Chain A
Amino acid sequence: MITLEQVSKTFAARSGPVRALDQVSLEVQQGEIYGVIGRSGAGKSTLIRTVNMLERPDSGTVTVDGVDLTGLGAAELRRARQGIGMIFQQFNLLESRTVRGNVELALEIAGVDRAARRARSGEILELVGLTDRAHARVFELSGGQKQRVGIARALAADPKVLLSDEATSALDPETTASILGLLRELNRELGLTILLITHEMDVVKTLCDSAALMRDGRIVEHGRLDDIVLRTDSVMSRDLFPLGELPEPRGTAIIEITFVGLASEEPVISRLARTHELDVSLLGAAIETIHGRQTGRTRLELSGSAAQIDAAVADLQGQGLTVNRVREAA
């Protein structure tokens, strides 16, 4: 649905050129929620702004819904933008208009007539749960309500894609959860494709089907979240399950087991000790709810012979667990 190919962008800053995007390629499938995470200055905002050409890339192509936006003229680009909604960290609502007026702005721009604007704005405000605030002025709203208006405005003209640049970063955790819930709902009910930018792993964890990690203008890691979770060498995965530093070497082996769903209820550890006659100690564990499923990782220290450990690992893998051998026994 969204394809970026070899997109680069360099800004001329006072201190010299800043390469905000360095040959970035990205593919967002139809109907998925794709999260881009990274530190401040990594180039996330620049990336998402190229998707609707608020930022024109120096090179590379940006294709949304089959149309290469880099090749469009001004009028065609405006038309294409109507099919790409965007929400912002600072909401960017017009104080000069009511809630309904803000939503209707999108429809006025899209050339929808008055009666249809009324009907559509009513409909979309109901979808975001703001029917009773339709006539409120923007300054009367809470942050969460403002972002709902932002979402309603972005979706009024019925776009297929929604771009979200840190949409929940100005909100408290509870409000964040409710906005993320709304985005999930819209994604399911409308089949909306969402590309979002965040610096919080929590957002990726609760919402995203796929994710990419940016650093210094590049995408250093990407994939479906289900896969990332199981990749123990992944930076994102280590951020998801923070297990801390490894202990000093002391002749023992260290493994990490990642489990998804019910496997965690099996008596894994006691079985290792019993069946394979190993000494097992727990070095760390983290459990997260990802896509509504309990997903976790434990780090175990095993003392025993190499053969015993090999057998134990094979056994675990046989149970469908993902095992990563972090350190071999000396």
Chain B
Amino acid sequence: MIDSSDPDFWPDLFATVWKATGETLYQVGWTLLLTAILGVIVGTLLVVTDKGGMLERPLGSRALGRTINVVLQLIVNLGRSIPFIILMIALIPFTRLILGTAFGVTAAIVPLTVAAVPFFARIVEMSLREVAPGLLEAGSSLGATRWQLVSKVLLPEALPGLILGFTTTAVSVVNFSAIVGTIGGGGLGDVAMRYGYQRYSTEYIVVVIIVLVAIVACIQALGGWMSNRMRRGGTPSARSAAEVPPA
């Protein structure tokens, strides 16, 4: 138990939480960067290698497309169904292999990313499937390459949905990052563990909660604002339904 009437108590608390917040933001930031890149790649591959997709036959081989699709689906489903705490433990050897250590603020980025990519990839997949096939046809009719169809049509058209999905992912990553903290991943979770759980300091817990809530609120506000800015005027489906008279 630490003494909250100690004159150094509050300065210590703020110094500790401040440092831990920096660690959490660093961890979450890198995880999200990697997740954004990998999630978009995996999610896009899931869509384009599916039946009727533009990469149904990579290198002219339907079997290859089918294989890529099935394997990715499997990985995504597995990644999503394993509880994070178990995934985290299971990944310890892997993390040690690539970073030399399995514990610490940086090392925790590995299990966080491995958990977040399948989650976000599924959201990317769903957002891309919402893009009307007619838009891809329009692109094809203009002579677009497959890469141009993805980069100029598919991803930009899905962007508002992608941003909302990414927001949800980011909130989950903040959540997971706190769990990682309790087993040596540093950051706010670590503070909550050491001061709140082991030394019963209500003040520490309360301040950690306030900071986490603030981080989540910021992420959500930013994501909502960006997504809205992009789709000013309502959802695409509501709009097209209003404009096309029944045949």
- Measured CB to CB, the residues of A under 8 A from B are 52, 54, 77-82, 84-86, 88, 90, 92-97, 105-106, 108-110, 137, 139-140, 143, 153-154, 157, 163, 169-170, 172
Shortest distance between the CB of A156 and any CB in chain B (Å): 8
Chain A residues with CB below 8 A from B247, complex form: 169
Nearest CB in chain B to that of A108: its residue: B152
Residue interface bits B72-116, CB-to-A below 8 A is 1, else 0: 000000000000000000000000000000000000000000000
B126 at the binding interface (Cβ < 8 Å): no
Chain B residues with CB below 8 A from A77, complex form: 143
Contact with A90, one of B132, B144, B233 (Cβ below 8 angstroms): B132
Shortest distance between the CB of A120 and any CB in chain B (Å): 14
Shortest distance between the CB of B96 and any CB in chain A (Å): 43
- Let me know if B142 and A88 touch, CB within 8 A: no
Contact with A88, one of B134, B236, B239 (Cβ below 8 angstroms): B134
B11 at the binding interface (Cβ < 8 Å): no
Shortest distance between the CB of B195 and any CB in chain A (Å): 47
Shortest distance between the CB of B2 and any CB in chain A (Å): 54
- The verdict on A170 contacting B132 (CB below 8 Å), with A81-B140, A82-B143 known, is no
Shortest distance between the CB of A54 and any CB in chain B (Å): 6
B137 at the binding interface (Cβ < 8 Å): yes
Stretch of B23-31, B117-125, B153-161, B170-178 with 4 or more beta carbons under 8 angstroms from chain A = B153-161
Interface size class of B (residues with CB under 8 A): 20 to 34
Chain B residues with CB below 8 A from A80, complex form: 143
| Shortest beta-carbon contacts, A-B, top 3 | A81-B143, A92-B138, A96-B156
Q: In the complex the two chains form, what is the Cα distance from A232 to B137 in whole Å?
A: 40
Contact with A143, one of B145, B233, B243 (Cβ below 8 angstroms): B243
Shortest distance between the CB of B196 and any CB in chain A (Å): 45
Nearest CB in chain A to that of B231: its residue: A95
Shortest distance between the CB of B226 and any CB in chain A (Å): 13
- The tally of CB-CB contacts under 8 A between chains A and B is 79
Contact with A54, one of B137, B159, B240, B243 (Cβ below 8 angstroms): B137
Nearest CB in chain A to that of B244: its residue: A170
Question: Interface of chain B, helix or strand or loop or mixed?
Answer: helix
Chain A residues with CB below 8 A from B152, complex form: 105, 108-109
Chain B residues with CB below 8 A from A163, complex form: 141
- Let me know if A109 and B143 touch, CB within 8 A: yes
Chain A residues with CB below 8 A from B231, complex form: 95
Chain A residues with CB below 8 A from B52, complex form: none
- Measured CB to CB, the residues of B under 8 A from A are 132, 134-135, 137-145, 148, 152-153, 156-157, 159, 230-234, 236, 239-240, 243-245, 247
- Let me know if B244 and A157 touch, CB within 8 A: no
- Let me know if B145 and A95 touch, CB within 8 A: no
Q: In the complex the two chains form, what is the Cα distance from A77 to B247 in whole Å?
A: 34
Chain B residues with CB below 8 A from A84, complex form: 141
- The verdict on A170 contacting B142 (CB below 8 Å), with A88-B134, A92-B137, A94-B135 known, is no
- The verdict on A109 contacting B137 (CB below 8 Å), with A95-B157, A96-B156, A140-B233 known, is no
Contact with B143, one of A79, A137, A140, A143 (Cβ below 8 angstroms): A79
Q: In the complex the two chains form, what is the Cα distance from A159 to B240 in whole Å?
A: 28
Q: In the complex the two chains form, what is the Cα distance from A93 to B143 in whole Å?
A: 16
Contact with A81, one of B135, B141, B157, B236 (Cβ below 8 angstroms): B141
Shortest distance between the CB of A121 and any CB in chain B (Å): 14
- Let me know if A82 and B157 touch, CB within 8 A: no
Shortest distance between the CB of A209 and any CB in chain B (Å): 23
Chain B residues with CB below 8 A from A88, complex form: 134, 137-138
- Let me know if A94 and B156 touch, CB within 8 A: yes
A-B residue pairs in contact (CB < 8 Å), sample of 19: A81-B140, A92-B134, A92-B135, A92-B137, A92-B138, A94-B135, A94-B153, A94-B156, A95-B236, A96-B159, A105-B142, A105-B152, A108-B148, A109-B142, A109-B148, A139-B234, A154-B142, A157-B142, A157-B143
